[in-house]
């Protein structure tokens, strides 16, 4: 899905907190000598795959993103055993031992088609990890926002589905799955670009993630074992 809200990925090559957590989940699940292929859907500038390869040295990497500018940045990293494609993941045909998709599901007004596709891209006995803005309350939300600081168009990317809605769908798909909540360990200050998330502390010292879109963002990893 095309978006113009990609500035932070163009100029930031640091691993983000949710990506550090994602890497740790994979380190706990996958043998260090893993020599299969991981697909990163919505790989942005390739920073996650770069760090994945540092730990899983024998792995092969594939990254896909609809932004050709970001894919060119991935290619410039010249990571060994890596391939990057500038296209929509819905058009992919191959299957992979590991598939990850962080921040992609929220672009879709109906999560079923993209989630089904992510599952179908994962090999039997493979692992799929979807990181997304989801709702612990049983409400699904479709959002259009206009970030007037850099674009005058209505855009997508902040939809959130209830965990219960997703559970119902996955039970029908007959796959094993569980959810793990993401708790951000650091404070984030509001930035000049209001679409970038920031945090506030609750009285119980938990952090809540907000954005200038006026939304509270609860994030979860959905881990699916085929």
- Residues 90 to 109 in contact with ligand SAM, rule: CB under 6 A: 90, 102-104, 107
Q: Between helices 17-29 and 47-55, what is the axis angle to 10°?
A: 30
143 binds ligand SAM (CB under 6 A): no
Q: Where are any strands of DSSP class E within 105-218? A: 122-135, 161-162, 176-181, 198-201, 207-211, 215-217
Smallest distance from ligand SAM to CB 42, Å: 3
Binding segment for ligand SAM among 59-67, 144-152, 167-175, 191-199 (CB under 6 A)? Answer: 59-67
Distance between CA atoms of 40 and 46, rounded to whole angstroms?
9
Smallest gap from Cβ 91 to ligand SAM, in A, equals 9
- Of 6, 77, 173, 210, which one interacts with ligand SAM (CB under 6 A)? 6
Question: Which residue's Cβ lies closest to ligand SAM?
Answer: 42
Q: Is 129 exposed, middle or buried (0-12, 13-18, 19+ CB in 10 A)?
A: buried
* CB of 149 vs ligand SAM, minimal distance in Å: 17
* Distance of alpha carbon 86 from alpha carbon 67, whole angstroms: 6
User: Considering the rule CB under 6 A, would residue 3 count as an interface residue with ligand SAM?
Assistant: yes
């Amino acid at each position: 899905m095309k978006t113009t809200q990609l500035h932070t990925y163009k100029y930031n090559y640091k691993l983000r907190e949710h990506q550090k957590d994602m890497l740790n989940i994979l380190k706990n699940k996958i043998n260090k000598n893993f020599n299969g292929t991981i697909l990163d859907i919505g790989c942005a500038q390739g920073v996650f795959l770069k760090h994945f390869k540092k730990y899983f040295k024998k792995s092969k990497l594939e990254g896909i993103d609809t932004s050709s500018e970001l894919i060119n940045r991935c290619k410039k990293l010249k990571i060994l055993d890596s391939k990057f494609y500038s296209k929509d993941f819905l058009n992919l045909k191959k299957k992979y031992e590991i598939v990850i998709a962080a921040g992609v599901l929220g672009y879709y007004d109906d999560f079923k088609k993209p989630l089904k596709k992510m599952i179908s891209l994962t090999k039997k006995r493979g692992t799929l990890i979807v990181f997304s803005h989801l709702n612990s309350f049983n409400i699904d939300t479709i959002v259009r926002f206009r970030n007037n600081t850099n674009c005058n168009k209505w855009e997508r990317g902040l939809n959130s589905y209830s965990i219960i809605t997703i559970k119902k769908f996955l039970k029908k798909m007959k796959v094993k799955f569980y959810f793990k909540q993401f708790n951000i360990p650091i404070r984030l200050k509001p930035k000049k670009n209001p679409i970038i998330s920031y945090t506030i502390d609750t009285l119980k010292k938990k952090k809540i993630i907000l954005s200038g879109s006026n939304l509270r963002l609860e994030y979860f990893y959905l881990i699916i074992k085929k």
